[in-house]
Amino acid sequence: MRARSSPPRIATETLSRRTLLEWLAAVLGLTSELLLACGTTAAGGPDAARGRDGSASDRGARDAAGAYPFAPGAGGGGIFDGWGERTVDPQDLAAILASWRLRVDGLVEQPRSLGFAELVADLPRQDQLTDFHCVEGWSVYDVPWTGVRLSDLLATVKPLASASHVTFHTIGGKYNESLPLAVAREPRSLLGYGVAGATLPLPHGFPLRVVVPRLLGYKNAKYVERLELSDRPSHGFWVAAGYPYDGEVPPSRLREGKY
């Protein structure tokens, strides 16, 4: 896949508490077509390419997106054109999202549980324009992410001195990932909830995905529902399948200022 080089505009709006219920109603209204699109798994390695063909589910998501300031759907600027995707196994995501909350626990002084609106409203927002790199050798340049810094969220739970790693538990539990706490605290390590002016499309990880631009895509876990702090690393799905735990992008692929 040819990497894109023209930077899309960073979003200027975010989701408000008032529109969250409207958003959920739109998601629930997309029914089985959207769920099937979300649950499809492409062949090949992590983040393997699956073309967007203008299917009914994609059109429905775009139509539903139009009415909201920070809209559900495929986003703007063609950012997802040709972006390969790997999803969790098929499941009833609409039902899960209706009661979704993010838990942060483990080796912390003050465990937390936050709904999506709380996460957006209570923590500082971070916009950043960084690159995304797949282990298969392709990249997407200038992705306009919106989210919260992991360091800001972790500071609110007060990790214990014994905590050295964080495990990202995902909806369905299959594609969990783990990072050293020091990497999670880097300034550009995010929990992303938006990209290119919209919430993350379901195939790309809504409600939250990990964004660590200097790590390969398989380390950027999608569908995050829990952060567990511990004193040891956890080998997630792709690491257990033989990919390196560190998952660092080769220096020759990194662009100055974009990781």
Q: Write the CA distances from 220 to 137, 163, 178, integer angstroms.
A: 16, 20, 9
Q: For the chain, give the percent of residues with pLDDT over 90.
A: 51
pLDDT, tens digit, 9 for 90 and up, residues 85-113: 665 555 565 666 678 899 999 999 999 99
Higher pLDDT, 28 or 226: 226
Average pLDDT in the 136-162 region?
95
Q: 3-class DSSP state for residue 226?
A: strand
Q: What is the pLDDT of residue 208?
A: 93
Report which secondary-structure segment, H or E, holds 18. Answer: helix 17-29
Residues 84-99: b if buried by 16+ CB within 10 A, e if exposed: bbbbbeebebbeebee
Task: Tell if the pTM clears 0.85, that is, is over it.
Answer: no
Residue 201 — pLDDT band, cuts 50, 70, 90?
confident
Task: Kindly report the CATH number that applies to the domain delimited by 17-253.
Answer: 3.90.420.10
**Would the pLDDT of 10 be above 80?**
no
Query: Domain extents for the chain?
Result: 17-253
Beta-strand relationship, 190-195 and 209-211:
antiparallel
Q: What is the pLDDT of residue 96?
A: 65
